[in-house]
Structure 1
Amino acid sequence: MNLAAIDLNLLVAFEALLEERNVTRAGQRIGLAQPSMSSALTRLRALFGDELFIRTAAGMQPTVRALELARPIGEALARIRATLAPDTAFEPSTAYRRLTIAVTDYGDLVVVPPLVALLRQDAPGIDLVVRPIGDAAASLAALERGDVDALIGGHLPDSARIVRRTLFEEDFVCIRDKAHAVSLTPDAYLRLPHALFSAGGDGSPGVVDAILAIEGRKRRVAVTLAHVVAVPFAVAGTDLVATMARRVAMLFADIAGVTLTPLPYDAPPFAIDLLQSRRATSDPALAWFLATIERAGRSL
């Protein structure tokens, strides 16, 4: 392909269309009137031999080819921008930008609060959007496309196209009503009725169930809950026991009236990770933001 014959501004139009999913808004974003933006889309389709964006009731939806192009085009534009402005320093205190992360329930409760505190202190002009990680594979794909800037949570999938950093390690504890504040033996743990957090409320086995299965043992789950914040309040005032991540349990112990006791089985700690795309290296603002997430993690 002869680059001299290509208008590289078409790539800027592609990027705007991918992010806005609307021809008019994409044009406004890069300073083109609607007819000019429509013309740019026509030329993009001819350039790549694909429809790229299909008009639907939900907006202009990217084709498979457009999604394949999203990352390399985004990285190329980021490198061009960084090259043309190599000495432009990012100043958090005066910056205005919108950043998006996707987090698990754990990340929402434990990591996001100190992150927000740091942003409000150091970069009050930064707007943060926090999305839930429902389908981990879909969230990873959104990160690879550039729809989100980072993922935070435990047990997140791998990809050769992302960079993974461990923020810290977490472990499990048991919670019980304060009237039952005694350490549990393995047998006593199994005799008790359990409350289980299961995203979606489907009762899928967790890490503890896998450990018990190795020993040929099984616990009785008396209550299955779809939201982790409901677990301590369900346990309070009952004979239930629940197994939770330590930092989440600590957040709600006093409020709910429960106490923490050791898990009487050897469950290995697990990592809470930060996942980022490789484009962060060419974006000073994004690099600063990811470093700030790490600072939030170190404070826990």
Structure 2
Amino acid sequence: MELKDIDLNLLLVFDRMLAEKRVSAVAETLGLSQPAISNALSRLRRAFGDPLFLRTARGMEPTPFALQLAEPVAYAMSALHGALNQHAVFDPASSTRAFTLAMTDIGEIYFTPRLMDALARSAPGVTISTVRNTAINLRDAMEAGQVDIAIGLLPQLKSGIFQRRLFLQRYVCLFSAAHPLAAKPRLSLKDFSTAEHLLVKAAGTGHGQADEVMASQGIVRRVRLTVPHFVAVGHILRSTPMIATVPERLAHSIAGPFGLVWRAHPAKLPEIAINCFWHTRFHRDPGNQWLRGVIFEQFADG
């Protein structure tokens, strides 16, 4: 098929349908009637010889062929939008734009204080909202523009997503400064195995790999308490004789306020990569570019 054989406006409808999954939503976004969107989809189906979208309880879901087209079409739309708006600028000093960041509770603890301090100086009118990357279909939300940037250990984000590494970090053992193990400069595997543990099972993140690695090494823990997130770790550890395996930068952030200490982990655990992610559609968006720059400046190693 040649470009001359297809109306490029139809690709705009296709691109928005991938993001919205509802004819009515696409019609509202593009300022067209629902029959016009349905007609555009019919023309696309005839042109490609594929249904492209199938009606389901979750909306109009793309076919395998449509998914193959999704990334190149999104990139082409983004490149064209960038070319047509290359003179557009984003002025952080006067902007009142609201950005949405997807991150875990660890991210909120570690990233948001310094990020908000930086924005207070350079972009006082800009506002930030955070959402849990486990509470939404993250890739779809980023494609639809509902999430501007995601930060964290997110191995599930691949197709259609740009990413840049911010830093590598290791896991450490965190516990109360009053814990008997606090007297030791290093922990042995025996110390680790015989201690009582607080286990964090953070679904939807890559942090479960640490548990998998320890299990593969035959390391057994005496787990007394299991929680689904990291946000309560400081409160729990400061008043119990348990220890927890946590990312090092989280330990740095909460050790002081909660009277905790950390030690190098006795198990051989892989370092974890914390990345910044953004969708192909918004790679050239001036506001998104600016916010990424602030995040890189504040948090990227090297």
Would the alpha carbon gap of residues 24 and 156 (structure 1) be closer, same or farther in structure 2, given more than 3 Å must change?
A: closer
Establish whether residue 13 from structure 1 lines up as the match of residue 13 from structure 2: yes
Could you tell me how far apart the structure 2 residues matched to 1:67 and 1:147 are?
Answer: 20
Letter in 2 for 1:235: L
Would the alpha carbon gap of residues 277 and 195 (structure 1) be closer, same or farther in structure 2, given more than 3 Å must change?
A: same
- Cross-structure match for 2:229: 227
CA offsets 1:100-130 (integer angstroms, 9 cap, x no match): 5433443233224433554565456656554
**SS of match in other structure, 1:282:** coil
**SS of match in other structure, 1:253:** helix
Letter in 2 for 1:13: V
The CA deviation at 1:272 is 1.5
- Cross-structure match for 2:274: 272
- Measured on the aligned residues, the alpha-carbon RMSD in Å equals 3.7
- Cross-structure match for 1:107: 107
Gap runs ≥5 in structure 1: none
- Decide whether the 8 Å contact of 1:195 with 1:240 is kept in 2: yes
CA offsets 1:125-166 (integer angstroms, 9 cap, x no match): 656554433499x75687689775443213635858654422
Establish whether residue 168 from structure 1 lines up as the match of residue 156 from structure 2: no
The CA deviation at 1:298 is 4.4
- Cross-structure match for 2:240: 238
Could you tell me how far apart the structure 2 residues matched to 1:239 and 1:7 are?
Answer: 67
- Cross-structure match for 1:177: 176
The CA deviation at 1:260 is 0.9
- Cross-structure match for 2:70: 70
Could you tell me how far apart the structure 1 residues matched to 2:127 and 2:67 are?
Answer: 26
Establish whether residue 49 from structure 1 lines up as the match of residue 49 from structure 2: yes
Aligned residues with identical type, % of pairs: 33
Could you tell me how far apart the structure 2 residues matched to 1:278 and 1:52 are?
Answer: 21
CA offsets 1:254-293 (integer angstroms, 9 cap, x no match): 55x4411313526564332223455555333332232222
Would the alpha carbon gap of residues 163 and 27 (structure 1) be closer, same or farther in structure 2, given more than 3 Å must change?
A: closer
The CA deviation at 1:87 is 2.5
Would the alpha carbon gap of residues 42 and 118 (structure 1) be closer, same or farther in structure 2, given more than 3 Å must change?
A: farther
Could you tell me how far apart the structure 2 residues matched to 1:283 and 1:242 are?
Answer: 41
- Decide whether the 8 Å contact of 2:237 with 2:260 is kept in 1: no
- Decide whether the 8 Å contact of 2:106 with 2:231 is kept in 1: no
1:61-210 mapped onto 2 (5 Å cutoff): 61-95=61-95, 99-119=99-119, 122-123=122-123, 128=128, 130-134=130-134, 139=138, 148-154=147-153, 156=155, 159=158, 162-180=161-179, 181-183=182-184, 185-186=187-188, 187-200=190-203, 207=210, 210=213
Would the alpha carbon gap of residues 108 and 69 (structure 1) be closer, same or farther in structure 2, given more than 3 Å must change?
A: farther
How many corresponding residue pairs?
A: 294
Could you tell me how far apart the structure 1 residues matched to 2:144 and 2:164 are?
Answer: 19
1:240-255 mapped onto 2 (5 Å cutoff): 240-255=242-257
**SS of match in other structure, 2:226:** strand
- Decide whether the 8 Å contact of 1:24 with 1:34 is kept in 2: yes
- Cross-structure match for 1:24: 24
Letter in 2 for 1:285: G
**SS of match in other structure, 1:227:** coil
TM-score (norm 2): 0.77
